Amino acid sequence: MRQIEKTFGVVLRERREAKRLTQESLAEKAGLHPTYVGLVERGKRSPTLRVARALALALGTTLADLANSAEKELREPSE
Amino acid sequence: MRQIEKTFGVVLRERREAKRLTQESLAEKAGLHPTYVGLVERGKRSPTLRVARALALALGTTLADLANSAEKELREPSE
């Protein structure tokens, strides 16, 4: 079974690209290191709630919204 | 400003008590240590997405649901 950090990473990348932000600019907005944002997008890190929410706010949305999309992708994989 | 881990902890405790589960039984269902569940409920740890989702599933709900309640409590504190 895919893990939540995998689908969260996919959702994060989609949302970032939809906003035409680079990993660097998203990282700066969220107060994180660009390398860390890349690791989260690739599902290599399971961020804490605090970090995941900082990323959500930097994208103009909520943690609940990103979690909902990530959990939906776990239930109904689009790929 | 209150942090998400504080309100997540409050929500977690409320939901656990509503299900009449002890910290020990919730921990066992989620595959966590009871001490860790206590720390999360008191807002002393910001769990990873993976752990937060395991807690949600053990309570019969989703991470998005718990995150939504925790973020609502950040926006409109009930206490």
Q: Are B23 and B40 in contact (CB under 8 A)?
A: no
What is the percent of chain B with per-residue pLDDT over 70, rounded to a whole number? 97
Residue B72 has pLDDT above 80, yes or no: yes
Task: Give the best residue of B8, B10, B39, B49 to mutate against chain A (max A CB count within 10 A).
Answer: B49
Amino acid identity of B35?
A: T
In tens, the pLDDT along B16-53 reads: 999 999 999 999 999 999 999 999 999 999 999 999 99
Coil, helix or strand for A63? helix
The pLDDT of residue A8 is 98
In this prediction, the answer to ipTM > 0.90 reads yes
| Shortest CA distance from B8: residue in chain A | A49
pLDDT averaged over every residue in chain B: 95
Q: Given pLDDT bands bounded at 50, 70 and 90, which one contains residue B77?
A: confident
Query: Which of residues A47 and A2 earns the better pLDDT score?
Result: A47
The pLDDT of residue B79 is 58
Tokens for A66? Answer: 């990103």
Q: Nearest-CA distance from A62 to chain B in Å?
A: 8
Task: Give the best residue of A3, A63, A74 to mutate against chain B (max B CB count within 10 A).
Answer: A63
Total-model pTM? 0.94
Tokens for B30? Answer: 């989620």
- Determine, for residues B62 and A50 on separate chains, whether the beta-carbon distance falls below 8 Å: no
Among the partner residues A4, A64, A68, nearest to B49 by beta-carbon distance = A4
Q: How many beta carbons lie within 10 A of that of residue B72, not counting itself? A: 15
d(CA B62, CA A27): 27
Residue given tokens 């776990």 in the structure block: A74
pLDDT averaged over every residue in chain A: 95
d(CA B74, CA B18): 21
Q: Which of A49, A65, A63, A53 is nearest to A29 (CA)?
A: A53
The pLDDT of residue B78 is 76
